[in-house]
Amino acid sequence: MDVGRHPKITLYAYSEVEKVEGQLGSFKVTIRKRARFVEESKCTGCGACADKCPTVISDDYNMGFADRKAIYRYFSQGIPSTYTIDTKVCRQFQEGKKCGICAKICQAKAINYEQTDQIIEIEVGAIITAVGYDLFDAFRIPEYGYGRIPNVITAMELERFLSASGPTHGHLYRPSDLKLKSEFAELEKKQQKLTKALERHEKKHGISSDEFFSKHQSGEMTGDEFADWAKQVKEFKDFAAEFEVKKHQVDSIGHASRLAFLQCVGSRDIRFNPHCSSFCCMHAIKEAIIAKEHDPHAHLYIFGMDIRAVGKGFEEYRNRGAKNVGINYIRTRVAEITQSKDKSPVIWYEDTLDRQVKSIEVDLVILATACEASQGSDKLANLLGIERDPSGFYRTTDDEPLDTSRPGIFTCGCAQGPKDIPESVAQASSAAARAAQVLLRQC
């Protein structure tokens, strides 16, 4: 929030760099500020437009486990707190369809369907690239069953489950159980529809559907007049059996209490990324501890070749996880994940301490997917004229860990290589100081 209010900081959100010219002390940067179709200066962030929007799609921020509208904010703490229209799904922008509800409901008159991209040119003395990272696509390791076994998820998806603002409001449910709840909600709607149809007949003829059906079966109350009613009664009776089975299944749903974390998914692997992703081990321990806070009876397992706790206090944190929380650290590289009849993942692995192949059934498997160079970082590298290392991160040297191969352009955080939040923040401050130091020499 402080950055958004700072008088000497200009934010170009929802924008991308198109061209960089010049040299240290005198760069000319061309920026495309994409059209939101919502005017930032007018939007108050009230959310009335999203509440009334009729178009519902899957929410990428919640990893597909929740929905959003065609007009949306990517997440609630974003700066600026302005809504954006997704033109790919908005009815107003689809050929042959008209909607306009958001414009009608917006009291601030911030909706502007005619808005276009803006081209902005700025002059700067130095550039810092902090483009972050992407996560390894777990689909690339089919033996772990991601996308095929519903209760195998990624660490980022678990983050959303554990968040109070997430799709489950902080409750740790299995995705298969969430799907079951969703299916049961649809069955409840169908039950209400069938019940109302029967009630109309009952009101008209003054008898219950059960009494009518008994008479209909015995040869009374027959004919075209009662054929539709009899058909609906039979449909309701057949549906009731399925409904009761689903209801029993939903009533028996509890929290996921047996959690297994698989480390180095796509990292430290010559097939994909030979580098270590740096933060995954501590992230898994943190998530396991939070899960234990949610469920004191949880059973926690972390499967990994080793635990790389290299920061100050990290080894102590790891030990506390084992001693105080009950995390079981299992030294192995998991070979395969299968599925039991109740959709519980079954992990197959070789315990490297006793050299035996074992299996364990859990409620939920969490994959610690690798940290990879962000999509588009190669395009930006070409625009900036800087080099990348074999893993795709921006190349620096041990002597000058913030300087890229082009003078005046610096890098920090996971743009330079995998690192955790404290290290990224410290390096960001260093990059700002380094840029200021170089520019002062130019004066």
Q: How many CB atoms lie within 10 A of CB 161?
A: 27
- Under 8 Å between Cβ of 65 and 175: yes
pLDDT at 220: 84
CATH number of the domain within which 289 lies: 3.50.50.60
Does 309 fall in a domain?
Answer: yes
Q: How many domains does the chain have?
A: 2
- 274 shares a domain with 145: yes
| 320-344 pLDDT, tens digit each | 999 999 999 999 999 999 999 999 9
Indicate the pLDDT class of residue 218, thresholds 50, 70 and 90. confident
Residue 426 falls within a domain, yes or no? Answer: no
- Digit-coded pLDDT (tens) for 132-182: 999 999 999 999 999 999 999 999 999 999 998 899 999 999 999 999 999
**118: in domain:** no
Nearest to 273 by CA among 412, 377, 131, 134: 134
Residue 405, sorted as left (phi over 0), alpha (psi -120 to 50) or beta, turns out to be alpha
- As a whole-number percent, the residues of the chain with pLDDT over 90 amount to 82
pLDDT at position 364 over 90: yes
Q: Kindly state whether residues 271 and 347 are assigned to the same domain.
A: yes
Give the SS3 label for residue 82.
Answer: coil
**The pLDDT of residue 61:** 92
Residue 274 maps to a domain: yes
* Alpha carbon distance 123, 217 (integer Å): 86
271, 264 in Cβ contact below 8 A? no
Return phi, psi of residue 134, to 5°.
-120, 165
Mean pLDDT for the chain overall:
93
State whether 318 and 361 are in the same domain: yes
**Do 327 and 368 have their domain in common?**
yes
Q: What percent of the chain has pLDDT over 70?
A: 99
**243, 265: one domain:** no
Residues 239 and 333 in one domain: no
Domain membership of residue 304 (yes or no) is: yes
Mean pLDDT of 57-69: 93
Q: Among residues 189, 219, 251, which one ends one of the domains?
A: 251
When computed from its CA atoms, the radius of gyration of the chain, rounded to whole angstroms, is 28
pLDDT value for 311: 86
Same domain? 215 vs 336: no
Q: Which of 251, 269, 285 is the last residue of a domain?
A: 251
Q: What is the pLDDT of residue 435?
A: 95
| Predicted confidence (pLDDT) at residue 410 exceeds the cutoff of 80 | yes
Query: Are residues 268 and 291 part of one domain?
Result: yes
Q: What tokens does 348 get?
A: 């197959």
- Whether 163 and 312 map to the same domain: the answer is yes
**Mean per-residue pLDDT, 59-68:** 92
Q: Does residue 235 sit within a domain?
A: yes
Cα(175)–Cα(161) distance, integer angstroms: 10
> What pLDDT does 443 receive?
66
So what's the pLDDT on residue 221? 85
What is the mean pLDDT of the segment spanning 386-407? 95
Q: Considering the domain boundaries, does residue 201 fall inside one?
A: yes
Give the mean pLDDT of 44-56.
95
Per-residue model confidence (pLDDT) at position 367? 98
Question: Nearest CA to 217 among 201, 207, 230, 206?
Answer: 230
Indicate whether 442 pLDDT > 80.
no
Regarding whether 279 and 236 lie in a shared domain, the answer is no
Is residue 160 located within the same domain as residue 209? Answer: no
Domain encompassing residue 199: 177-251
pLDDT above 80: residue 431: yes
Arithmetic mean of pLDDT, 99-103: 94
- Residue 415, phi then psi, degrees to nearest 5: -70, -30
Q: How many CB atoms lie within 10 A of CB 397?
A: 10
Question: Do residues 331 and 305 make contact, with C-beta atoms less than 8 angstroms apart?
Answer: yes
Residues contacting residue 45 through CB under 8 Å, at least 6 positions apart? 73, 81, 82, 83
Of the residues 347, 372, 397, the one at which a domain ends: 372
Q: Is the pLDDT of residue 79 over 90?
A: no
Q: How far apart are CA 421 and CA 59, in angstroms?
A: 25
Q: Is residue 4 situated within a structural domain? A: no
The H-or-E segment that residue 204 falls in is: helix 175-205
Pick the range with the lowest mean pLDDT from 63-77, 326-340, 424-438.
Answer: 63-77
Q: Are residues 214 and 186 in the same domain?
A: yes
